[in-house]
Structure 1
Amino acid sequence: MNPLRDRAGSGLHARVVDALGSRIADGGIPPGSVLSTEAIERDHGVSRSVVREVVRTLTGLGMVEARQRVGTTVLPVSSWDLLDPRVIAWRDEGPDALRQLDELITLREALEPVAAQRAAANDDGSTAAALREHLTRMEAAFRATDPRGFAAADTAFHEALLRGARNDVLSQLVQTVLATLHARYSGHRLFSDDTAASLERHHDLVDAVASGDAARAETVSRALVRAARVEVLGDDKGKH
């Protein structure tokens, strides 16, 4: 199960949101479909009040809309909150997974080099220390051929980098970027011929942040994300 899904424990509301969100994202409930309150109650064994909360949540994500004299209608993907980690997780398991991955890597290409530049410019030593700790965990996981440990450490590395920018707007996108990293790893062979080189790039980035070399940090970060694009999508122009 995708850990980025917001199940809020084992709550009925969260489970039904997850089930319906997944079906909408994978095309099982296509745009234009009208959701039946009675069918949701019956299929998921929940009350009318739970269904109302579920619909309210999906409405907030832009996935459905209540239309007068029509009912709750499924909207096209162009209306969805595509930066919400739940939506990213659902699309990651559907037919749009590759397209979304391309789009999310483009987002990382736009955000992370700027965050790296700001992190290097603003670091008081704490960001570089956190990055070095996560990189040590990445290296240990690589040596142990531990994909889960590697992915977790890499995700923590990039979260620390974004937070190190000390920019409130970028901080609000942390969960979105973490979801992009999960999408990058899911369904893809984690270790490759480039993994060792990637670790070297991470080392270069830590050194740039630690030395306050903002220009170098930006350049290395851009190279890291570009390499991820080439590895996962097979190109460096977002075409596939």
Structure 2
Amino acid sequence: MPSSLHSRVIDDVGLAVIDGRTPAGTVLHSDDLARSQGVSRSVVREVVRVLAAMGLVESVKRIGIRVLPAARWNVYDPTVIRWRLSGAGKGAQLRSLSELRSSVEPMAAELAAQHCPAAASAELMAVAAQMRTAGRAGDLAHFLELDILFHRLVLHGSGNEMFARLDEPIAAVLSGRTELGLMPTNPHETALQWHVDVADAIQGGHPAKARAAMELIMRRTISEVEPSWADTPRPYSA
């Protein structure tokens, strides 16, 4: 099937679940979806398979396609993150990922200073320098690409495979922050320097300095985006 058609139907159905237009407990039927989306039942089956992998729906024999509650969603899936950032839940999504980052990334930087291969730490240092140039120039598109690469290198450099798997969710929230206009046109000079400090500490093998510099980055990040979730209640699921 054409990938554009596949993606369009996934977005239509998935977004409707995420933003609550199709609430949890709703039962959908393949024939109805095929008719409303103007696609074949084979396309619907593939779409349902993808959405089920995200935890948004489940197929129930002789009943239909049941929409699942938010507690069942795969909240680490980059597409789910993108959908949440595009709707009313963007504040809660930014808060959750920002808090996750502030917990994980300082430890990842500390570990990277102990375990990151020399070639990767040299690349990290080069990326930090390029970020400074792009940030000063106000080139946010290029800065975003470099920022994603910087944090990916730190996570992978930690040598912790579970930290490394967070690279896509963190890339998604970095992109979302820029797309939502929550990035200053010119990143703060101090923040640019902290990225250089992280890279320098990792390359030099200084775990405590790497952690401390990354903690400064995370604290500033939270202070800049915190207004977006100021009035958003926290969910609780036991």
When normalised by structure 2's length, the TM-score is 0.88
Task: Map Cα deviations across residues 21-68 of structure 1 (whole Å, 9 max, x no partner).
Answer: 112112221222222322321232211111111112111111012234
C-alpha distance in 1, partners of 2:2/2:194?
Answer: 37
**Equivalent residue letter for 2:15:** S
C-alpha distance in 2, partners of 1:212/1:204?
Answer: 12
Indicate yes or no: 2:130 matched with 1:137. Answer: yes
**Deviant stretches of 4+, over 6 Å:** none
**Inter-CA distance 198–56: structure 2 relative to 1 (3 Å threshold):** same
C-alpha distance in 2, partners of 1:194/1:171?
Answer: 25
C-alpha distance in 2, partners of 1:148/1:34?
Answer: 41
Shift of 1:9: 7.8
C-alpha distance in 1, partners of 2:133/2:193?
Answer: 14
Task: Map Cα deviations across residues 69-117 of structure 1 (whole Å, 9 max, x no partner).
Answer: 4321211111100001010011111111101100001111121111101
Give 3-state SS (helix, strand or coil) of 2:3's partner: coil
**Inter-CA distance 151–194: structure 2 relative to 1 (3 Å threshold):** closer
C-alpha distance in 2, partners of 1:123/1:174?
Answer: 16
| RMSD over aligned Cα atoms | 2.2
Q: How does 1:84-233 map to 2 (within 5 A)?
A: 84-191=77-184, 195-233=188-226
Indicate yes or no: 2:25 matched with 1:38. Answer: no
When normalised by structure 1's length, the TM-score is 0.88
C-alpha distance in 2, partners of 1:11/1:239?
Answer: 37
What is the aligned length?
A: 231
C-alpha distance in 2, partners of 1:9/1:173?
Answer: 29
- 2:14 equivalent in structure 1: 21
Give ranges in structure 2 of 5+ residues lacking alignment.
232-238
Shift of 1:215: 1.2
Identity of aligned residues (%): 36
**Inter-CA distance 212–158: structure 2 relative to 1 (3 Å threshold):** same
- 1:57 equivalent in structure 2: 50
Shift of 1:199: 0.3
